[in-house]
Structure 1
Amino acid sequence: MRLSRVLALTLALVMMASVAFAGPSYDRIMKDKKIRIGIMTDSIPGAFFNSKGEWVGFDYDVATELAKRLGVDIERVKVNNKTRIAFIQQGRIDASVANMTHTREREKSIDFSITYFFDGQKILAKTGKYKSLADMKDKKIATMQGTTSEINVKRALKALGVANPDAHVISFQKESECFQALQMGRVAGWSTDATILLGYASKTPGKFELVGEFLSDEPYGIGLPQNDSALRNGVNAALQDMWRDGTYMNIYNKWYGPDTPFAMPMTGSIELWP
């Protein structure tokens, strides 16, 4: 076969694959009766592996309930801060339930559900050593690469008069790496969402505490493929129904209720449509 014909055939196959891939995710999910959901693995208590090696957490339970409400099986896919958006863009997952703040910048890459969780950014430090970010502005602060937390802590340091915030922030790929740096004294504090910090602090009770004011509000949304309104509507309806019938608060109290190591009062309400 001549090279030109081979190239033409290859191009045609690529175009056919692209057309097939471009169809709405919702239609394929309903046809296959399975939704692929990206979930974190070391975000305590959002989604993590417990001492028994079981994958558990708030986001894990929300994702499981979401699939149930859509009437399909769930395929759980491990994601992290770097892959949770990329996997949606690449079609490797249909949704990302991965403690992801809904931002306008991220809206350029993917779509989001309504806010399903309400958090805010704080700083974790050794108990009794610091009272605020101002007390550690000349020290090193840990945060996670490619997150809103990284942007916010640098902005806060700049507001405190730090000439080169980049030099005072060490960014890691995983929450567990940030916590390890804090435990080893490589950093004075670790800044990210308060619920994540509470989760890790609970591993060594009494040794670490949240300090200072909130640096930001962090409204979490479920990441979704762009331009698939049927999937977005289905996810939003499921979240609202979970809230209305009490299932959402049952899951919330399981992980963040007053009798848990991660106790945090509910501070918001899911948007409900008539």
Structure 2
Amino acid sequence: MRFGKILFLAVIFALFSAQAVLAGPTYDQVMKDKVIRAGLMTDSIPGAFYNKDNEWVGFDVDIAKEIAKRLDCELKRVPVTNKTRIAFVQQGRIDMSVANMTHKRERDKSIDFSITYFFDGQKLLVKKGSFANWDEIVGQKIATMQGTTSEVNLKNKLEELGDTNADDNVISFQKESECFQALEMGRVAGWSTDSTILLGYAAKRPGEYELIGDFISDEPYGIGLPEDDSKWRDTINFTIQDMWLDGTYMDIYNKWYGPDTPYSFPMTEQIEVWP
């Protein structure tokens, strides 16, 4: 009996020790391994997607690469979705989620965030000439992504406009590509999410789609980070600010959202910089 008790305590101690190692500060682990595991989308054009040459590219990809470069680390890219990006941070499977994620107070209960590194807002994409504004599309089926702030914002907007069947008229999908496919096939009359994502997909069919209506929300993107790890959070914040101050941020921004790109989206705010 005594031996069994000792063995049981030894197992518990071993498990606790293993968990303690896994739960160590992210900064220390990253600096030790010289590897940053970044959660990135795979079909969020032009944030993070596979191009025609099957290369994983995009604005978020370049931001993650630059952060890793400045910290003298290798970047390990980990595919995430709208449903997995927070869970992967919580589980320690990634060190940061650079995945067009709006910083919301509700999300901040689960993970921490960097300062805002991108500014967007939610709009509506339709086939060109089909609708002129939000009022005209009330009562129609509209696509959005499941489990996102876009889904909540869209339902609220439709209810505000008097749609008594808003819950049924909001059709939620797992991926951006599925939303666009539904719009192409006529299964929905519109697709609502962050405007830069809509611009990215509209660029695949030049002249066939258009964004209509006013912004219905502000969408400040933050990099998702492990909870209560201030040293790692400060490191990411300082790196973003340094990228802004030396012009690298705007070089990356203009590469993907500049006036000569298919995804032209003028910069609306400045990155927060601490003195």
TM-score after normalising by structure 1? 0.97
Deviation by residue 1:7-47 (Cα, 9 ceiling, x = unmatched): 44433222112211221110000011111111110000000
1:150 counterpart = 2:148: no
Secondary structure of the equivalent of 1:102? coil
Residue type matched to 1:210 in 2? L
- In structure 2, how many angstroms separate the alpha carbons of the residues matched to 1:28 and 1:217? 34
Structure 1 residue 243 displacement after superposition: 0.4
- In structure 1, how many angstroms separate the alpha carbons of the residues matched to 2:179 and 2:211? 15
- In structure 2, how many angstroms separate the alpha carbons of the residues matched to 1:160 and 1:3? 67
Q: Which residue of 1 aligns with 2:61?
A: 60
Structure 1 residue 200 displacement after superposition: 0.1
Structure 1 residue 206 displacement after superposition: 0.6
Q: Which residue of 2 aligns with 1:89?
A: 90
Residues 7/168 of structure 1: CA separation in 2 closer, same or farther (3 Å cut): farther
1:136 counterpart = 2:117: no
**Larger deviation: 80-89 or 18-27?**
18-27
- In structure 2, how many angstroms separate the alpha carbons of the residues matched to 1:93 and 1:13? 24
Q: Which residue of 2 aligns with 1:49?
A: 50
- In structure 1, how many angstroms separate the alpha carbons of the residues matched to 2:57 and 2:23? 33
Structure 1 residue 48 displacement after superposition: 0.3
Checking the alignment, whether the CA contact within 8 Å between 2:38 and 2:95 is kept in structure 1 is: yes
Q: Which residue of 2 aligns with 1:38?
A: 39
Structure 1 residue 124 displacement after superposition: 0.2
Q: Which residue of 1 aligns with 2:213?
A: 212
Q: Which residue of 2 aligns with 1:272?
A: 273
- In structure 2, how many angstroms separate the alpha carbons of the residues matched to 1:119 and 1:75? 26
- In structure 2, how many angstroms separate the alpha carbons of the residues matched to 1:227 and 1:155? 32
Q: Which residue of 1 aligns with 2:177?
A: 176
Q: Which residue of 2 aligns with 1:22?
A: 23
Residue type matched to 2:131 in 1? Y
- In structure 1, how many angstroms separate the alpha carbons of the residues matched to 2:134 and 2:22? 47
- In structure 2, how many angstroms separate the alpha carbons of the residues matched to 1:108 and 1:138? 35
Checking the alignment, whether the CA contact within 8 Å between 2:139 and 2:165 is kept in structure 1 is: no
Deviation by residue 1:90-111 (Cα, 9 ceiling, x = unmatched): 0000000000000000000000
- In structure 2, how many angstroms separate the alpha carbons of the residues matched to 1:48 and 1:146? 20
- In structure 1, how many angstroms separate the alpha carbons of the residues matched to 2:171 and 2:130? 20
Secondary structure of the equivalent of 1:176? helix
Q: Calculate the aligned-residue CA RMSD, in Å.
A: 1.3
TM-score after normalising by structure 2? 0.97
- In structure 1, how many angstroms separate the alpha carbons of the residues matched to 2:124 and 2:9? 57
Secondary structure of the equivalent of 1:213? coil
Deviation by residue 1:96-152 (Cα, 9 ceiling, x = unmatched): 000000000000000000000000000000001101222111110100011000000
Q: Which residue of 1 aligns with 2:75?
A: 74
Residues 187/6 of structure 1: CA separation in 2 closer, same or farther (3 Å cut): farther
Structure 1 residue 4 displacement after superposition: 5.5
Checking the alignment, whether the CA contact within 8 Å between 2:200 and 2:262 is kept in structure 1 is: yes
Structure 1 residue 81 displacement after superposition: 0.5
- In structure 2, how many angstroms separate the alpha carbons of the residues matched to 1:128 and 1:254? 30
Residues 4/132 of structure 1: CA separation in 2 closer, same or farther (3 Å cut): farther
- In structure 2, how many angstroms separate the alpha carbons of the residues matched to 1:162 and 1:34? 49
Secondary structure of the equivalent of 2:270? coil
Residue type matched to 1:58 in 2? F
- In structure 2, how many angstroms separate the alpha carbons of the residues matched to 1:5 and 1:148? 50
Deviation by residue 1:190-247 (Cα, 9 ceiling, x = unmatched): 0000000000000001111001110100000000001111111100111001001110
Q: 5 Å matches for 1:195-206?
A: 195-206=196-207
1:126 counterpart = 2:127: yes
